A = this chain, B = another copy of it.
Amino acid sequence: MEFANRMNGIDSSPIRKAFELARSIQNPINLSIGQPHFPCPPNIIEAMNKAAIEGKTSYTLTAGIPELKTAMAEKYRTQNHMKYAHEDRILVTSGISSALFLLFNALVNEGDECLVISPYFLMYPAMLKFYGGKVVPLSENFTAYDVEALKNRKFKLIIFSNPSNPTGKVLSKEQLRALANLAETTGAYLISDEIYELFDYDGQFFSIGSEYEKTITLTGFSKTYNMTGLRLATILAEAGVIKALTTLQQYTVVCAPSITQWAGIEALKTDMTTYIQDYKEKRDFVYESLKDHYTIQKSGGAFYSFFQVPCEDEEFIKRAVKKDLILVPGFIFCDSKNYVRLSFATEWETLKRGMKALQELAKES
């Protein structure tokens, strides 16, 4: 079989491998999974089912149903303080991954340098490389001074997730402003992936799009409402970018699933505060349980902790498996082999078992 050259170097995601490992253990402590443990709220399911019964099973407009775009524009204006947010700046996509795929397809030429804040969501470098992009990592602990030093480089785009998958880091205003300045002076596209925006435990989260209008903001429904399987996200960007991406979407997924788009409207009306509060307590519990045993920072957002382990990540993963604990090795998110990613999006009981196992592992090292 002869595949296209771009398929070289693309490999099955190690997170998916962790999924499979978890399936082989009787009663695993699965802290590898990147999706909420709570169910999608019933009012959202009801709205979706109503749309289906009403026959909304046909193609929608490529860019999404106007009702959802209007609701999202309102959300961007009021919750994210993006005064410029209007319908013609919004594209509804089949999840964030689909949004990334459209963006990288539309933007990246062979050899283009792309600045990726590290540790990074593993899909960024994988897909950038797929389209010939060259990944330049910049540590998430960068200062404005570090960014200033890059001002004579030519980047096609700058991308980060905020709050971060895998570290839970919430970038500061100063950091975000430095990236926006760099984008403006170098002509790079600034892509802010805000899928975890509601998982912000200390009120630190800031949409850089509220200050820098050229920002390409990615907003997902999957994590906030546990709609990972329903495939829904939106892109907010300049109208010219949205027009190009919409054309490309005509030739790819055509439109986001119709009924899911109707579910999205209801989701925006749903208060998730109690769920977020629960995850905040879990965030604290993880930190308190591990801080005397590992080198660990308290996560500011998302539902991950990314901490240093006393041996190589893959060796640590193997030791953890012996205690039925499933984690994700850090090397897939950055250039280091000294970290693992833990997801605290799980039941209390599972989380407590996990902390106990991690405390034991620390003592055994």
Does A353 sit within 8 A of B, measured CB to CB?
A: no
Identify which of B57, B106, B241, B251 contacts A4 (C-beta below 8 A): B106
Bound complex: CA A126 to CA B247 (Å): 11
Asked whether A94 lies within 8 Å of B97 as measured between CB atoms, the reply is no
Residues of the B chain whose Cβ atoms lie less than 8 Å from the Cβ of A248: 7, 10
Does A2 sit within 8 A of B, measured CB to CB?
A: yes
Does A98 sit within 8 A of B, measured CB to CB?
A: yes
Asked whether A229 lies within 8 Å of B57 as measured between CB atoms, the reply is yes
Asked whether A35 lies within 8 Å of B10 as measured between CB atoms, the reply is no
Mask: chain A, 204-236; 1 = CB below 8 Å from B; 0 = not: 000000000000000000000011111100000
Asked whether A253 lies within 8 Å of B105 as measured between CB atoms, the reply is no
Bound complex: CA A130 to CA B106 (Å): 10
Asked whether A12 lies within 8 Å of B250 as measured between CB atoms, the reply is yes
Given A4-B107, A11-B247, A240-B1: A57 in contact with B228 (beta carbons within 8 A): yes
Asked whether A228 lies within 8 Å of B59 as measured between CB atoms, the reply is yes
Q: How many residues of chain A get a CB closer than 8 Å to chain B's CBs?
A: 66
Residues of the B chain whose Cβ atoms lie less than 8 Å from the Cβ of A16: 62, 250
The chain B residue sitting closest to A256, CB to CB, is B231
Chain B CB within 10 A, most for which of A39, A58, A123, A126: A58
Bound complex: CA A174 to CA B247 (Å): 38
Does A277 sit within 8 A of B, measured CB to CB?
A: no
Stretch at the interface among A46-54, A69-77, A136-144, A330-338: A46-54
Residues of the B chain whose Cβ atoms lie less than 8 Å from the Cβ of A45: 52-53, 57
Bound complex: CA A2 to CA B189 (Å): 9
Identify which of B2, B228, B252 contacts A98 (C-beta below 8 A): B252
Does A101 sit within 8 A of B, measured CB to CB?
A: yes
Does A127 sit within 8 A of B, measured CB to CB?
A: yes
Residues of the B chain whose Cβ atoms lie less than 8 Å from the Cβ of A107: 2-4
Given A4-B105, A257-B231: A247 in contact with B12 (beta carbons within 8 A): yes
Does A317 sit within 8 A of B, measured CB to CB?
A: no
Task: Known A-B contacts: A94-B94, A101-B252, A229-B258. Give 12 more (CB < 8 A).
Answer: A1-B240, A4-B107, A5-B109, A6-B105, A13-B251, A49-B49, A49-B53, A57-B229, A59-B228, A97-B251, A229-B255, A259-B259
Can you list 28 A-B pairs with a CB-CB distance of less than 8 A?
Answer: A1-B240, A3-B106, A3-B107, A4-B105, A4-B106, A4-B109, A7-B106, A10-B247, A10-B251, A11-B247, A35-B59, A39-B55, A39-B57, A40-B57, A48-B259, A49-B49, A49-B52, A57-B226, A57-B227, A94-B231, A97-B254, A98-B253, A101-B251, A101-B252, A101-B253, A130-B251, A229-B255, A230-B259
